[in-house]
A and B are shown apart, each in its own frame.
Chain A
Amino acid sequence: GENVEQHPSTLSVQEGDSAVIKCTYSDSASNYFPWYKQELGKRPQLIIDIRSNVGEKKDQRIAVTLNKTAKHFSLHITETQPEDSAVYFCAAHNTDKLIFGTGTRLQVFP
């Protein structure tokens, strides 16, 4: 079945540095790749998404890249701030459902 692998599971960076989270998926039929941020005790919130006809998408300090051939997609956060600290989930939507990665706990130290 569809599988989404996410790395790393934890990531610590200094404020102002960049953070990169990588995901791979197995189902080549997947066409939609959202990223969710979940702060402690809160619901997952969509922060950015990318569709298969696009290779890169940016929204201020956040960018996502997609390589459909390699079945890789990545989240890039630049100029990290303490409020970026959270768990980030990637996901891939195939024909049936949204499959999530296991999450990356990002800690940004001041």
Chain B
Amino acid sequence: KAGVTQTPRYLIKTRGQQVTLSCSPISGHRSVSWYQQTPGQGLQFLFEYFSETQRNKGNFPGRFSGRQFSNSRSEMNVSTLELGDSALYLCASSFQPGIQETQYFGPGTRLLVL
């Protein structure tokens, strides 16, 4: 089975711009979670999608949003980029949401905001 894929892998933007990142889960997986990884904060949960619905959301401002399509692919969007948004954005997929479901990570999208 192909693993989780993310596009693009690298992105450079300037402050104020917006960005859209894409995540394709493992075939058959219907739950997608997004995380922000920074050196100081580790892996911070952004949100989780299942059946095209956001199930949970972390403590991030409304500039961070996402969606999921009927084929389980997910996108996240960050509007009005700030320097502090520079990070590695990881998505992870699992068969379904809930406790004890193993999450498999994609390679991440490294975003640099100048």
- Report the nearest B residue to A93, measured CB to CB: B99
Pairwise interchain contact B90-A94, C-beta atoms closer than 8 A: no
Pairwise interchain contact A98-B103, C-beta atoms closer than 8 A: yes
Which of A37-45, A59-67, A68-76, A77-85 interfaces with chain B? Answer: A37-45
Q: Kindly state whether residue B71 has any CB partner on chain A within 8 Å.
A: no
Size of the B side of the interface (Cβ < 8 Å), in residues, is 22
Pairwise interchain contact B45-A45, C-beta atoms closer than 8 A: no
- Report the nearest B residue to A42, measured CB to CB: B107
B42 → A minimal CB distance (Å): 4
Q: Kindly state whether residue B102 has any CB partner on chain A within 8 Å.
A: yes
B60 → A minimal CB distance (Å): 13
Complex CA distance for A46 and B48, rounded to whole angstroms:
19
Q: Which A residues from 27 to 64 make CB contacts under 8 A with B? A: 31-32, 34, 36, 42-46, 49, 51
Total cross-chain contacts (CB, 8 A): 52
Complex CA distance for A31 and B48, rounded to whole angstroms:
18
Known contacts being A101-B42, A103-B42, is A51 close to B100, with CB within 8 Å?
yes
Q: Kindly state whether residue B49 has any CB partner on chain A within 8 Å.
A: no
- Report the nearest B residue to A95, measured CB to CB: B99
Partner pick for A98 among B4, B41, B45, B106, CB 8 A cutoff: B45
20 A-B pairs in the complex with CB atoms less than 8 angstroms apart: A32-B99, A32-B101, A34-B102, A36-B105, A42-B107, A46-B102, A46-B103, A46-B104, A49-B102, A91-B43, A93-B99, A97-B45, A97-B48, A97-B56, A97-B58, A98-B103, A100-B42, A100-B43, A101-B42, A103-B42
Which A residues fall within an 8 A CB radius of B?
31-32, 34, 36, 42-46, 49, 51, 89, 91, 93-103
